[in-house]
Amino acid sequence: MESLNPPSGRPKRRTRIVLRLFVFLLIAGMAGLLSYYWFLTYYPNSEHVEPDYGGLRKPVFHRGVMLDKDAVGEKESLKLPLEFIKEKADPSIVYESASDSVIITTKDKVVRMKTNVLTATVNEKPLQLKFPIVKNGNDLYLPIEPVKQYYGLAITEAADTGNVIVHLQGDNIQWGKADGNSKGGTTAMRRSADIKSPIVADLQSGEELMIWSESNQWYYIQRKNGTVGYARKKDVVLDRVETVPTQPDSKSFIPWKPIGGKINMTWEQVTTKNPDTSKIGAMPGLNVISPTWFHLLDGEGNLKNLADSAYVKWAQSQNYQVWALFSNGFDPKITTEALSTYDKRMKMIKQLLAFAQMYNLQGINIDFENVNLKDKANLTQFVREMTPLLHEQGLVVSMDVTTKSTSENWSMFYDRPALSETVDYMMVMTYDEHWAASPVAGSVASLPWVEKSIIQLLNEEKVPASKLVLGVPYYTRIWTEQTKNGKKEVSSRAVFMDTIHKLIKDKGLKPAFSQETGQNYIEYTEDGKLNKVWMEDETSMKARVELIKKYDLAGIASWRRGYETPEIWDVIKQTLEKRP
């Protein structure tokens, strides 16, 4: 009789089939998931989008970076934002709201362009513009012709997009070409460095591209029409590198310099009338004299003139260059007013030019002191505007500055790096380390302090040694110390070198050399008061000249003629000329 139970092998066979089917489906599912993952990860996005210009209508690009502001106009009337010119081409370009003017200063030119006015001036001579500067809200736009002329920019405007591409002189441009072997003969240019990023342009085989950077096998590129994006490095072939030509330097002014030697200058202090030149003794080695003739009279820029043609004839008969000093009168209020506008600054400059021609001067020495810190930029601008015009008349431009300190009105208002780029020579007044009202007695200019000041100007302020002239004092101070009511009181008076010589002789004093200051020192008691003197003499002056030689400075300038003893001139001359 047959068994009613099925064979035991059938269920097992069925189970194996189900398992096999499950495994197959699992594998198929995993393959599908992997395919989907591969598609999501590796399959290029084919979506096309328009370039994103952030709402700008006429974008401006430099090295593939889009500016925040549009250009305005088109073709010849195209204008660029002043903000871009200031940031990229000329940090010293100035917009002066008081006169609604843009002012450009170069080594040999001062250009003034008023908003919405077609007549500009170059070195105060008229220049007709095709298109004026325009203002849109708070933004200013410069016509491209003067921009090209003065800054050497290469500017292209794409006919199809209107995009503007600007290259600065000296810019390097790496060019490449879209690879013709790409699928379909085109190369995808994407919004970001990712194949899943949408396409902003299909690049035709051989199309020229500017390459600005690379990252993770992608190039950041720009088409000639201004569109920017990314392409895979393997889809771009490097072609060539171009450098935007730099403008040839205009004929630079070559300042006077003594043949084979250093500048040896002294200031001639003139307060009311000029000295009797017949009473001025010999000054061996001197080659420049700077009489204090011109002074700022008021906030309108009018100058006071103390010049004397007879003095000039005498000085030049002695083979001295005459670099007349121009002072602000050390009045901060009228200085602020006189520096405040282009027209006032130019009024001062024109008077100096007229005086220089009238008296046959060879240079102007600028001496602005006690200036408000807020006027720092205007003072620098004044010197930038003055120098090209003085150079045009063949005049040497020098400027006096104090040593570096944290005093706003005494030191911080000087932009020494910018000023030293503009002027021919910079005189650093290394004196009054201890000033008239100093609460502590001390040297007018100790040698370590002087050397520290030189190093600061050379290293921190970047003043070239070839322009730096060391200002030295021909005076010293007699310090008096006394105790009143248990408190020390200190006072001083400035005296000539000869006064100290007579003092030593009259009182039978013997100077002692101070290693700390590098000077001879005397002290004596008179009327119960202690008197101290750090001497300026042959010893201190020789040491100062040695510093000039050590740092190869341009020369020496002394304040002032008449304070010195006669032998000082020979000491300076012989030390300057002495070979190592």
In this prediction, residue 259 has a pLDDT band, given cuts at 50, 70 and 90, of confident
Identify the residue whose tokens are 């990023």.
197
Q: What percent of the chain has pLDDT over 90?
A: 86
CATH of the domain at 404: 3.20.20.80
| 81 and 200 inside one domain | no
CA distance 580 to 576: 10
Mark which of 211, 243, 275 sits at the end of a domain. Answer: 243
Assigned token pair, 466: 């070839």
Q: Is the pLDDT of residue 3 over 60?
A: no
> Cis omega before residue 544 (within 30°)?
no
CA distance 456 to 464: 12
Q: Is the pLDDT of residue 8 over 70?
A: no
Q: Is 256 within a domain?
A: no
* Single-letter amino acid, residue 481: E
Mean predicted confidence (pLDDT) in 91-116: 96
Model confidence pLDDT, tens digit, residues 472-519: 999 999 999 998 888 999 999 999 999 999 999 999 999 999 999 999
| 66 and 135 inside one domain | yes
Q: Is the pLDDT of residue 33 over 70?
A: no
Mean predicted confidence (pLDDT) in 308-313: 98
CA distance 184 to 205: 9
CATH of the domain at 218: 2.30.30.40
Domain span including residue 156: 60-167
CA distance 221 to 192: 11
Mean predicted confidence (pLDDT) in 35-64: 83
| 318 and 439 inside one domain | yes
Q: Is 149 within a domain?
A: yes
Q: Is 114 within a domain?
A: yes
Q: Is the pLDDT of residue 233 over 80?
A: yes
Strand-pair partners of 189: 201
Higher per-residue pLDDT: 84 or 40: 84
pLDDT, averaged across the chain: 93
Q: Is the pLDDT of residue 410 over 50?
A: yes
Q: Is 22 within a domain?
A: no
Whether 234 contacts 182, CB under 8 Å: no
Q: Is 9 within a domain?
A: no
| 176 and 161 inside one domain | no
Q: Is 211 within a domain?
A: yes
| Res 16: pLDDT | 74
Q: Work out the number of other CB atoms within 10 angstroms of the CB of residue 429.
A: 19
End-to-end CA distance of the chain: 136
Model confidence pLDDT, tens digit, residues 521-539: 999 999 999 999 999 999 9
How many domains does the chain contain in total? 3
Q: Is the pLDDT of residue 7 over 70?
A: no
| Res 1: pLDDT | 43
Q: Work out the number of other CB atoms within 10 angstroms of the CB of residue 437.
A: 8
| 285 and 419 inside one domain | yes
Running DSSP on this structure, what letter comes out for residue 83?
H
| Res 24: pLDDT | 74
| 429 and 512 inside one domain | yes
- DSSP reduced 3-state for 294: strand
Q: Is 24 within a domain?
A: no
Mean predicted confidence (pLDDT) in 89-112: 96
| 294 and 369 inside one domain | yes
Model confidence pLDDT, tens digit, residues 134-173: 998 899 999 999 999 999 999 999 999 999 999 999 999 9
Mark which of 152, 167, 182 sits at the end of a domain. Answer: 167
Q: Is 288 within a domain?
A: yes
- Contact partners, residue 468, CB within 8 Å, separation at least 6: 420, 425, 426, 428, 454, 457, 458, 551, 553, 554
Q: Is the pLDDT of residue 39 over 60?
A: no
| 503 and 363 inside one domain | yes
| 193 and 329 inside one domain | no
Assigned token pair, 377: 């930029």
CATH of the domain at 144: 3.30.457.10
| Res 2: pLDDT | 47
| Res 415: pLDDT | 98
Half-sphere exposure in the Cβ direction for 175 (13 Å, CA): 11
Mark which of 108, 138, 167 sits at the end of a domain. Answer: 167
CA distance 141 to 143: 7
CA distance 245 to 171: 8
| 104 and 121 inside one domain | yes
| 223 and 331 inside one domain | no
CA distance 114 to 499: 58
Q: Is the pLDDT of residue 196 over 90?
A: yes
| 420 and 568 inside one domain | yes
| Res 183: pLDDT | 59
How would you classify the pairing of strands 288-296 and 263-268?
Answer: parallel
